[in-house]
Amino acid sequence: MVADAKVTRQVRRDLERLTQDLWWSWNEIAQRPFAALHPAVWDSSNHDPLAVLRAVDEPVLAARCADESFRDLVRAAVDARKAYHATVPWFERQAFPGAKGLHVAYFCSEYAIHESLQQYSGGLGVLAGDHLKSASDLGLPFTAVGLLYQQGYYLQELRADGSTRVIEPTWDPRKMPLEDTGVDIRVPIGDRKVDVRLWIMKVGRCQAVLMDTDRKGNRPKDRRLTEGLYRGEPELRMRQQVLLGVGGVMALKALGIKATVFHLNEGHAAFASVARLAQLRRKGESLEDALAAIRRSTVFTTHTPVPAGHDRYDAEMVADALQTCWREAGLGRRAFLDMGSERPSDPKAPFCMTVLALRTAEHVNGVAALHGRVSREMWQQVYGVADPALVPIGHVTNGIHARTWLAPEAEAFWKSAIGLDLDEIEKGKDPWSAAESASPAAFWDLRNRLRARLVHFVRERLARQAQRRGEAPEVALRAMQAFRADALTIGFARRFATYKRAPLIFREPERLRRLLEDAARPVQIVFAGKAHPRDGEGQAYAQQVHRWARENGFEGRVALIEEYDMHVGRMLVSGCDVWLNNPMRPHEASGTSGMKPPMHGGVNLSILDGWWPEGFDGRNGWAIGDGSEGTDRERQDAIDSASLYERLERDVVPEFWDRHASGLPQRWIERALHSVATVPGRFNSHRMVAEYLEKSYLPANA
């Protein structure tokens, strides 16, 4: 039985409209019809609705449409999207002084919207994607600006020895949820102009403008500007940043988007201020007035707490690349270079993107309270003040977009248990605060189900990795028997940068082995993470973890999942009982991965770095170490690993396995529910975006 052609055409139109609004990426109700339409393609495409539609021919779709339950799925998704767009959002319901005409342009080099859109590398992109989604949910007038990468970051495979194989597939923008505006701009970079096509990505109530230089008229060197994220030599990276900043300002003008506030998310976009200066000067404004206007309307968020992590380039190379802008701005070459110099008038000083952003933004923040302090100390010299407390850098602590990261099963549980409603957005209301009233037995059942799902996922991924490497069948068979659904499960998933110290827990292998091999109190650890393709040390860390996972006593109890992306992240943060975080303090600017497990009943075990000093209250997780900031890496590793083992042996493992007469780990459940009640309500991107609005966007719009 098949549906008639008219019904089938209508369903296809409805499905196509759903794919063109990235609202589907954080609303499971909109994903369900595509998963039902072709489950195999849904899984193999990394949950890409457009890939599903391309794979399903008319006879199959007609057969599905004959099923009333499938048509109901489509109708429910369409109705939910309509309701979302018809609802008057939070921002419009408020009477904010100074909000008239507000429109925020948000510049970032990467956006993590969904795992099927490989346009991100790590935490910066995840933060930007969550920021954009919350801006949509809250209803802010908001346009994101970025680059459209042909190859994205890279896909990670691990060889048999654990070394990293970098795979760089090419993505076709015509097969992505993008609108080709048909608008081209010509961006001056050096003594040439680069042809750039503008694409629009609709993200709920907001949009992202993405720039593409893979055009036939461009030189190969220019086409490479949007080839991939963080690629190649410094000159290429610097020219990408010219495209992001200068091209982004030109793109907004070409599309008629009148931004009043420019938010530079990290120093990569700092050249936007120079482009804006040139615009204002062309209109006849004086240099002094133009600089003041730009500073007043620019917001800058810095994410890097280590001096070496800030982009610095040869000054003359930068001057050559920006020559059109600084000349149109009426600046001399030296005056322009001094704007980005930590040592003005020193011809040997490099050009620092962060310094340029600091000097052209009045509203500057770090991404956690501790990071704000570190940033004030780091940039004290730029501001020329004697006391770091006088440096005008504040902080807005990062947050996560709850619906993007919350497992549907967990959302259903909290809705039933405490009336959680993520769509109810009112300032001062914390929908999570009542979590401690949830039934311990029902909560523990949720934890067991989420952990069992993670174990199934780990087994399948390990078996697939073994098969891809051509390993013997018994290796894949052992993989399918790895992990236990009832064992205390520890997760570590993040970028494999060396300061994050992924292998720290293996520092005393025999001590760890005793924990893992305890049959009465089993423990298991799952890792996931990527290092930059040129970060040999970070890749070596992944290789170390891979090798430990194959050691006697560790195999089947330690796993390293390759290709860490948003899907892998969601599986781990929902299924792990403990979230491990052990960076060198104070090298973690904020970190957001640890904000996600508490929504699922997971508990943090972390160094007091990034956001955790603000989140930890002594009862909602555990702290590793005492907050010391040693400069001797070997000594600090010894101190922190000793604290980590002590916490595991004395607190974490005993508390998880200490069972009440009811069979429940009563003390563990109390701690986990307290974590739910105290973390998600504060560390979410709705709070974060509202804080940016009040602290920065509205003042910058004045």
Go through the domains of the chain in sequence order and give each one's CATH number. 5-87 (no CATH), 94-145+231-398+689-701 (3.40.50.2000), 403-417+433-453+484-682 (3.40.50.2000)
Tell me the C-alpha distance between 201 and 210, whole Å: 8
Highest mean pLDDT (candidates 301-310, 339-348, 400-409, 533-542) = 400-409
The region of weakest confidence among 267-271, 305-309, 427-431, 531-535 is 427-431
Q: Burial letters for 630-652: b for 16+ Cβ neighbours within 10 Å, e otherwise? A: eeeeeebbebbbebbbebbeeeb
b/e map 174-194, b = 16+ CB within 10 Å: eebbbeeeeeebebbbeeeeb
Identify the pLDDT of residue 2: 66
Comparing 166-170, 257-261, 568-572, the range with the smallest average pLDDT is 166-170
Q: By percentage, how much of the chain surpasses pLDDT 90?
A: 92
Angle at 19 between CA 17 and CA 21, to 5 degrees: 80
Whether 608 contacts 640, CB under 8 Å: no
Q: What is the pLDDT of residues 89-123, one digit of tens each?
A: 999 999 899 999 999 999 999 999 999 999 999 89
pLDDT of residue 76: 98
Report which of residues 2 and 47 the model is more confident about.
Answer: 47
Mean pLDDT of 244-266: 98
Mean pLDDT taken over the chain? 96
pLDDT in tens, 305-347: 999 899 999 999 999 999 999 999 999 999 999 999 999 989 8
pLDDT digits (tens, 9 = 90+) for 173-211: 999 999 999 999 999 999 999 999 999 999 999 999 999
- pLDDT category of residue 23 using cuts at 50, 70 and 90: very high
At residue 552, the pLDDT reads 86
Cis amide prior to 59 (ω within 30 degrees): no
Mean pLDDT highest for which of 463-477, 531-545, 590-604?
A: 590-604
Strand 523-528 vs strand 261-265: parallel, antiparallel, or unpaired?
A: unpaired
**Rounded distance between C-alpha atoms, residue 391 and residue 383, angstroms:** 7
Contact 3, 65 (CB under 8 A): yes
Model pLDDT, residue 1 = 64
Rounded to an integer, what distance in angstroms lies between the CA atom of residue 569 and that of residue 559?
14
Q: Give the CA distances from residue 45 to residues 42, 51, 196, 615, in Å, rounded to whole numbers and listed in that order.
A: 6, 7, 29, 37
pTM attached to this predicted model: 0.97
**Contact, 205 vs 87, CB < 8 A?**
no
